[in-house]
Amino acid sequence: MKLKICLLIIITIVFSFKARSNSPEIKEKKNTVFAEAGGGSASFYALSYDRLFDISEVFDLSLTPGFSYLKTKNPADSTKYPSVFFPVPLNGLVGKTKNHFEASASISYAHRFQPGKDAYEIFLFPAVGYRYQKAEGGLFIRVLFGALFDVDLEKNGIEPFPWGSFGIGYSF
């Protein structure tokens, strides 16, 4: 009787490993490209790349470098000049499924090409929000709300104001 029980346990274990090896495992897609309205710490929009880093079963980190270009008005003479923004957020994600709570800390460098003298600014954007991202890839959606801090390097001032962003893209 003991031999039959031992044999039954061994057969069960062997077949359970065999069944697991045949079941398809989803490989988590860690790369995302997306467009963001509101732009996070960029400006009014940003084009970004996001890379996920697994920390634990329920917590991930991501790094999201981006780029934004637009023409803005010079307040002194109302002429338009080009500006480029380079946001680099570090994001913490909490969640096991496709729905995640996201906390983000972003810094953005802005270069405004003005006639005579270029201007440089730093923007800080701490934010919290929601991220929809399936492990198997596909549709990516992100909504963040926080405060944008405009750090004026020439005037040594910081100006905060409420800010948010909405991003949509594709994970692969």
The pLDDT tens digits of the residues spanning 86-142 come to 999 999 999 999 999 999 999 999 998 887 888 888 999 999 999 999 999 999 999
Q: What percent of the chain has pLDDT over 90?
A: 59
Copy the structure tokens of residue 43.
């400006």
Computed from CA positions of residues 15, 19, 22, 25, in that sequence, does the dihedral angle turn out positive or negative? negative
- Pair 114, 82: CB distance under 8 Å: no
Q: What's the pLDDT at 17?
A: 45
What residue segments make up the domains of the chain, in order of their start?
32-171
Three-state SS letters, 35-54? EEECCCCCCCEEEEEEEEEE
Identify the band that residue 7 occupies on the pLDDT scale cut at 50, 70 and 90: low
Do the beta carbons of residue 82 and residue 113 sit within 8 Å?
yes
Per-residue pLDDT tens for 29-60? 999 999 999 877 777 899 999 999 999 999 99
**CA-CA distance, 50 to 88, in Å (whole number)?**
10
Distance, C-alpha 136 to centroid of its chain = 17
Averaged pLDDT score across all residues of the chain: 86
CATH number of 32-171: 2.40.160
Q: Answer whether residue 73 shows pLDDT above 80.
A: no
What tokens appear for 47 in the block? 């084009």
Tell me how far apart the alpha carbons of residues 64 and 129 are, in angstroms, rounded to a whole number: 15
Q: Read off the pTM.
A: 0.79
